[in-house]
Amino acid sequence: MMKKITTYQGKKVLVLGLGKSGINAAELLAKLGAKVTVNDKNEPSDLNQVAALEAQNIKVVTGSHPLALLTDIDLMVKNPGIPYTNVLVAEAQKRGLKIITEPELAYEILEGQMIAITGTNGKTTTTTMITLMLNQASAKQHAYKAGNIGISASKQAQTLGQDDILVTELSSFQLLGISALHPHIAVLTNIYEAHTDYHGSRENYVKAKMRITMNQTAADYFVVNWDNPEWRELSKQSQAQVVPFSRNNLSQKGAYLKDGILYFRDKAIMAATDIKVPGTHNVENALAALAVAKLMGVPTAAIVEVLKTFSGVKHRTQYVRTINDRKFYNDSKATNMESTEKALAGFKQPVVLLAGGLDRGFTFEKLVPFFKDLRGLVVFGQTAELIAQAGEAAGVKHIIKTKNAVTAVPLAYQLSQPGDIVLLSPACASWDQWKTFEERGDKFIEAVTKLAQEVEEK
């Protein structure tokens, strides 16, 4: 089902990182005839995984990063999360070795088309909406989501035929490691302040994001959020046909919101109030997705059906359950302030907010206007004190500090009143306490479930 390429036949490849994408890349490269070594600085947690790789003639080296691994290699495939300051990566760069990330391999073997989505916020929701719309419309073509969203692109690409579409969510980390990757449609949802600890500056972060369109031609499409002058300016860098989407009706050349109705060019699609997922940010995601769907020839009825029924992505303003007339939402994927702003703006009811996490050197004054109407604030993690200060500046009456997102749940419930929203939207990465935002969200859901049982037993 995949292109038979000979690029890697007999090549010596070092795969850095024993995570999911690293394992998938190593296995694919071995299938393509490469001599593969996988290296991870940590000792493996799963020895069966190591044995399975070794059974495919893949060498596994763990526990450190020996520089000797760079001797005589043709290529490095790097886990996106490993920074370029890593000892092996820095040395590989110094030696002029080619360094790629795993989505590049996916593109090289892909038989079907690629649609790629990037942005600071909204990537996962937009990727999911696009995939659902394409699948709602056609039995012949099938769309598969992959990338920064669960299944790695290189694994998914191996299963696709010529009629299929790979809808790929790409992070700035992944985009730094592409060279030939060329989506037919690229989407930029937005660009805010994020990952400057990795990229070194906002300028570098923006450049990384814009790599999504660097190989596009006039036969392709670049779908761009038109509601910020910076993003409009950035679109000029693309050789593709630019298709705007605008919640503020700043352009009618693509998808836009006008008088409460979503349009594509001059055709009305549906009322914004009929979108099932809450919040103005989801109107933007819906506009981006419907622009892509229309460019791919999806009928309006299929688009409407998806937007009326799609109830959201796990960990992204995900409804968990109602306890005593309080609705609990899991927005653990809100790893920056803009995400939390958008989540709060999506609710009309009073909110008890759970927030905090990794300290990246930011202060949280930007959130003060959004905190003014909070019923209460429960803070945790490295940024607990900083977020509490923003709450105090906003005049929040009830602020509680606690250990983490789990211990915050019963405290938030105590602060809440019937009809309130209890929202985990941390505004920070999870890495001070959890391995991933998914783990943080799952633990929060478990804590809500436990609380529900306790409340019911009383």
User: Where is the binding site for ATP, in residues?
Assistant: 119-125
CA dist., res. 139 & res. 302, Å (int): 12
Helix/strand number for the chain, H first, E second: 17, 20
Q: Is 264 left (phi over 0), alpha (psi -120 to 50) or beta?
A: beta
First to last CA, the chain: 57
Residues in contact with 110: Cβ distance below 8 Å, sequence separation at least 6, in sequence order: 2, 3, 157, 160, 166
The closest alpha carbon to 242, from 188, 205, 203, belongs to 188
CB atoms within 10 A of CB 232: 17
- The three-point CA angle 247-250-253 to 5° equals 95
Q: Quote the CA–CA distance of 339 and 345 in Å, as a whole number.
A: 10
Classify residue 7 by its DSSP letter.
Answer: T
According to DSSP, the residues that pair with 76 across neighbouring strands are 14, 99
User: Which of 100, 149, 144 lies closest to 125, judged by CA?
Assistant: 149
Structure tokens given for 407: 């211990």
Residue 43's φ and ψ, nearest 5 degrees, are -70, 145
Cβ within 8 Å of residue 284, ≥6 positions away: 122, 189, 190, 225, 227, 245, 247
Give the span between the Cα atoms of 240 and 252, in whole angstroms.
Answer: 18
Q: Could you give the angle at the alpha carbon of 235 between the alpha carbons of 233 and 238, nearest 5°?
A: 135
CA distance 11 to 385: 52
* Binding-site residue positions: 119-125
Q: How far apart are CA 377 and CA 155, in angstroms?
A: 42
User: Distance between CA atoms of 79 and 23, rounded to whole angstroms?
Assistant: 10
Residue type, 378: V
- Sequence length of the chain is 458
C-alpha closest to that of 79 among 189, 168, 176: 176
